[in-house]
Chain A
């Protein structure tokens, strides 16, 4: 019954997927940590990014990995504008209100995609889509291998930006003490929009790594909303390290759950982790306050 090779390869698969989850969750946790809002449209934005990569591939023949800088730029601009001109108007006082607003946005985005791309599931078939890489006894598909390192690389880059640049310092200042940051001459509205932009840029990068090994359809984002919420709650709202580790952990839980409980029932694991963490330890593994 228990086969160590299958277990190992499943775990490895989970970790690679988990790295992409972590990148997606980083975007969500950044937005939460700085703006104190829960972006329910995160999954829908990922879907838009996936369609962006797909469109670049079909229309211009751009390889998904080469599309990385384009997608990061596009999603950043989208996020900046979205925050500055739409979400900002709901204010930051009542969080349910922003949740409703972003729910409305995700309904709009999802159904716009349905109108323009129809409900067909689409894939990108590159020359390396079906290649595998041998790691010891375990075979791993090449796109997943690249996705793992790519996602880790982009995450590291983002953490670097947060730590060592002036923008990162400004973002951290606003996250900690909004009024104080304002008194120091930081343009808070700009920083909010920049954070939202960076949050979506993470999705742009994740989409480039995801698509060669995954698919896209208008409702693909739904699957990721909960996974990324779970990771953010697990790691502690607003914690970057938590999001990274939580992402890897959830990837493994999902993969092993699918292996031992079956494809559909296996997903229950994620939701149970989500609900029990929210109830028993809402501050997450690394958060300090609820």
Chain B
């Protein structure tokens, strides 16, 4: 209930923004932040709540984008009907990818690699068939009207994407609190135990991947409406997969607001680097990569987890060390020894994150719901 109030508040705040300012810079930023949040939230549903790390969300993104474009251009459909069709198509692709990989029990890195390979297969196929326009891509004709889902004013896009983001937030909130969501989180935390309790992991994961693919497909359709252009490397290239994944991880996986915060923070950062370094190609992505490395190594609970992590640090000074196996104890000892030599602030900080009470977040960073959830 609290979530829904917060979502409503968020919706009202953002929706009134176009009335308060006419600044193209701000509205453009809001549009792009909402768009990135949509992608990140999609990844979060599958990766954060069901623990299946996808490296190939582009396969849903590209399908949504292509169907949105093709339905309008070749079947002269209304953009809103096209969106509906695009969502259905991405859901189908999601079910296909999910049923193929989950039926045979692919987990962890293997699932990640298979999704990546699927995206590559789709990319090559979309290069080779006719109706996608091949390497030339598809250019959506300009049609600035409500029926064409293209707006002269940025505010139209703000409201359009905001409504989709809110829908994604509601889906995530449902995922968090419903019985189905509890199943998902059980499968994420310990699949074997979940199975022993009578949960069918296959169908639970299948629902998760179809929710994820619907949201990602919406992102792809929005991309086409925003930029009026799509080609195989935009649609199925790794860019959108990486964007979705990094934003969710930076913000905090398995949390409702993490992906939104992560996406906004990354966008802000990339705007800042663009202002600082000008148009050096790649500098943006270098910092992107560094942020990912940093978050994975030092703050596995993401930005939303930082505050909670610090709070737990002070409120629970003592905890036991009993659940760890030999390997982890070795790792921690080795790292502590290294840090001890340096004796700097950074080493102290790291030492504290390596200390036993934090071992849970260190060892299984993405599977501890208590960190960002409460």
Which residues of A are interface residues toward B (Cβ below 8 A)? 38, 86, 89-97, 99-101, 103-108, 110-112, 114-115, 118-119, 178-179, 182, 188-189, 218, 222, 226, 229, 262, 264-265, 267-268, 271-272, 274-275, 278-280, 282
Q: Which residues of A contact B53 (CB under 8 A)?
A: 96, 99-100
Question: What does DSSP make chain B's interface, helix, strand, loop or mixed?
Answer: helix
Instruction: For the A-B complex with A91-B331, A222-B238, A278-B113 known, give 18 more contacts whose Cβ atoms are closer than 8 Å.
Output: A86-B293, A91-B363, A93-B328, A93-B364, A94-B366, A97-B300, A101-B297, A103-B55, A110-B285, A112-B286, A115-B280, A188-B330, A226-B116, A229-B113, A268-B121, A268-B124, A278-B110, A279-B101
> Which of A105, A222, A264, A275 contacts B128, CB < 8 Å?
A264
Evaluate whether A89 and B335 lie within 8 angstroms (CB atoms) in the complex, with A95-B108, A107-B289, A178-B327 already known: yes
Q: Which residues of A contact B112 (CB under 8 A)?
A: 96, 99
Evaluate whether A93 and B120 lie within 8 angstroms (CB atoms) in the complex, with A104-B292, A108-B286 already known: no
B289 contacts A90, CB within 8 Å?
no
> Which of A38, A94, A105 contacts B113, CB < 8 Å?
A38
A73 to B313, CA, bound (A): 44
Q: Which residues of A contact B200 (CB under 8 A)?
A: none
> Which of B109, B286, B362, B364 contacts A99, CB < 8 Å?
B109
Q: Separation in Å of the B276 CB from the closest CB of chain A?
A: 14
> Which of B282, B285, B362 contacts A91, CB < 8 Å?
B362
A189 contacts B117, CB within 8 Å?
no
Q: Which residues of A contact B249 (CB under 8 A)?
A: 100
A264 contacts B127, CB within 8 Å?
yes
A279 to B118, CA, bound (A): 12
Q: Is residue B193 contacting chain A, with contact meaning CB distance below 8 A?
A: no
- Which B residues, 152 to 190, have Cβ-Cβ distances below 8 Å to chain A? none
Q: Which residues of A contact B330 (CB under 8 A)?
A: 182, 188
Q: Which residues of A contact B334 (CB under 8 A)?
A: 189
Q: Which residues of B contact A275 (CB under 8 A)?
A: 100, 114, 117-118, 121
A93 contacts B106, CB within 8 Å?
no
> Which of B117, B289, B365 contacts A104, CB < 8 Å?
B289
Evaluate whether A91 and B289 lie within 8 angstroms (CB atoms) in the complex, with A104-B296, A275-B117 already known: no
Tell me the nearest residue of chain B to A237, going by C-beta: B110
Count contacts on B: residues with CB < 8 A to the other chain: 53
A226 to B55, CA, bound (A): 13
Q: Is residue B288 contacting chain A, with contact meaning CB distance below 8 A?
A: yes
A97 contacts B104, CB within 8 Å?
no
A97 contacts B125, CB within 8 Å?
no
Q: Is residue B278 contacting chain A, with contact meaning CB distance below 8 A?
A: no
What are 8 contact pairs spanning A and B, CB under 8 A? A95-B109, A96-B53, A108-B290, A115-B280, A218-B282, A229-B113, A264-B124, A279-B106
> Which of A115, A179, A226 contacts B282, CB < 8 Å?
A115
A217 to B49, CA, bound (A): 38
Q: Max chain A CB contacts within 10 Å: which of B121, B125, B300?
A: B121
B282 contacts A111, CB within 8 Å?
yes
Q: Which residues of A contact B197 (CB under 8 A)?
A: none
Q: Is residue B283 contacting chain A, with contact meaning CB distance below 8 A?
A: yes
- Which B residues, 313 to 331, have Cβ-Cβ distances below 8 Å to chain A? 326-328, 330-331
A114 contacts B281, CB within 8 Å?
yes
Q: Is residue B242 contacting chain A, with contact meaning CB distance below 8 A?
A: yes
B242 contacts A96, CB within 8 Å?
no
A105 contacts B110, CB within 8 Å?
no
Evaluate whether A282 and B110 lie within 8 angstroms (CB atoms) in the complex, with A89-B297, A93-B328, A103-B242 already known: yes
A103 to B109, CA, bound (A): 12
A108 contacts B366, CB within 8 Å?
no
Tell me the nearest residue of chain A to B293, going by C-beta: A104
Q: Separation in Å of the A87 CB from the closest CB of chain B?
A: 9
A92 to B332, CA, bound (A): 12
- Which B residues, 36 to 64, have Cβ-Cβ distances below 8 Å to chain A? 53, 55
A115 contacts B283, CB within 8 Å?
yes
Q: Separation in Å of the B231 CB from the closest CB of chain A?
A: 13
Q: Separation in Å of the A17 CB from the closest CB of chain B?
A: 19
B109 contacts A271, CB within 8 Å?
no
B121 contacts A271, CB within 8 Å?
yes
B128 contacts A265, CB within 8 Å?
yes
Tell me the nearest residue of chain A to B125, going by C-beta: A268
- Which B residues, 86 to 142, have Cβ-Cβ distances below 8 Å to chain A? 100-101, 104, 106, 108-110, 112-114, 116-118, 120-121, 124-125, 127-128
